[in-house]
Amino acid sequence: AQSVSQHNHHVILSEAASLELGCNYSYGGTVNLFWYVQYPGQHLQLLLKYFSGDPLVKGIKGFEAEFIKSKFSFNLRKPSVQWSDTAEYFCAVYGQNFVFGPGTRLSVLP
């Protein structure tokens, strides 16, 4: 069965710090990978996605993620976070089904 895990439940950073949120999945076949963000009181929005090709994908607002097939990972990164990045971040995988991870809450202190 497919599953998605995210390494951290809650991450607290100061502005300008670098961010890396871990995501691992279990599925043996071809996958499509996504990171979604949910700002307080707002819709879930797509940050970035990987379907094929270059394993380093760039998304909106300076975010990027790297697909490492051998590690079944799709970690999200941003070199310098801002207070406005405070949100809940969800990793999602489409293999056999669309499965979301449990989410990581990011709090950025001004």
Exposure of 35 in the CB half-sphere (CA atoms within 13 A)? 28
| Total of chain residues touching other proteins, rule CB under 8 A | 21
> Which position among 81, 89, 103, 106 is part of the footprint of other proteins (CB under 8 A)?
103
Question: In angstroms, what is the C-alpha Rg of the chain?
Answer: 13
CA 108 to chain centre: 16
**54 makes contact with other proteins (CB under 8 A):** no
Residue 88 Cβ vs other proteins, minimum distance, rounded to whole Å: 7
Nearer to other proteins, 66 or 88 (CB): 88
The span from the CA of 104 to the CA of 63, in Å, is: 15
Which helix (H) or strand (E) covers residue 78, if one does? strand 73-78
**77 makes contact with other proteins (CB under 8 A):** no
> Which position among 58, 83, 96, 98 is part of the footprint of other proteins (CB under 8 A)?
98
**59 makes contact with other proteins (CB under 8 A):** no
- C-alpha to C-alpha distances, 85 to 51, 55, 98, 99, 101, nearest whole angstrom: 25, 23, 25, 23, 19
**70 makes contact with other proteins (CB under 8 A):** no
Q: Which residues of this chain interact with other proteins, rule CB under 8 A?
A: 32, 34, 36, 42-46, 49, 51, 88, 90, 92, 94, 97-98, 100-103, 105
